[in-house]
Amino acid sequence: MYVVPDQTGRKAVVTGANSGTGKEAARRLAAAGAQVIMAVRTPDKGERARAEILERHPDARLEVRRVDLADLASVRAFADGVLADPAPLDLLVNNAGVMAPPTRMTTADGFELQFGSNFLGPFALTVRLLPALLAATAPRVATMSSGTAAYGRIGFDDLQWERRRYRPNLSYAQSKLADLILTRQLAALAADRGWNLLSTAAHPGYTTTNLQTAGASLGGEPSRLHRLGRRLDFLPRQGVEQGTEPLLFAAADPGAVAGGYYGPGRRLGLVGPTTTARITRRALDPATNARLWAAAERLTGVTVPETAPTGTTGPGATIRGTTAPGTTAPATPPGP
């Protein structure tokens, strides 16, 4: 089992920390000494997960806070709460997501659910938390992608699947490719601005969690992706402890590099110890990455100023969006 390096004195936010890889990441980061904010959509589930972790690690420092990545107002409120603490934020783990609901659904702001929850929400959260991250000595943002990113396409002419026929698996693949692009573009931005911020990504291979079933149960009959998964029981799979290790490597290991991508190293990249994963060429084009970043800024109304504040946290240090306080993106998001 991968041993997480000492995290004493570090403060971390882990999204989706009530179950699966998020819960395991929160547990092992806290066991290594980190103060962990468990960012969850349903606080009751988060409190149950916290109690379970404390049973194994009584000295763990864990706090449950609510955030709904499918609601930009919730993202803003959560970020403001983190920024209100003068202590810097050392680590953001963008783990939460939804997978392959069988019918097209939308977020509170009118975005297609997978693109909104898996990419736009984490994007807005990351940018809003930059002041707290840049105040830390060695901050990191680790974002969970997926092996499906390898066949993802960014449909710039229809990011929300409004004009083309909704395909659950291709929508998911687009959102996970977007997460990989988020990682690469944030790393490029950090290098350009001279920020001491490490942006990394990971994928869990074929790890058994509730992700495969929770999304598929939304809105109707199970999706083709879910049905296909049930027919692929012969494929190698692994438990959550092993499957979380690429994310933990990306989040905490001194060997992780800017823009690095990590995943299981055995049997088609589905299981096994962590290794460097191949990045699809669709996430390696700087022009495409910058274009998607600009589209995300426009859709969420959250932008990075020309000079991002460093060394200061608190509500006044919040990176402001282009929309007025208390407003969100339009109900029907414009195209890029």
Output phi, psi for 144, to 5 deg: -85, 120
CA atoms within 13 A on the CB side of 42: 6
CA distance 188 to 194: 10
CA distance 305 to 309: 9
Which are the catalytic amino acids?
172
135 by DSSP, 3-state: which? Answer: coil
C-alpha distances in Å from residue 1, one per residue of 47, 187, 313, 317:
26, 28, 36, 39
In contact, 236 and 206? CB cutoff 8 Å: yes
CA 186 to chain centre: 13
Output phi, psi for 234, to 5 deg: -75, -15
CA distance 45 to 25: 16
Give the pair of three-digit tokens for residue 85.
């603490």
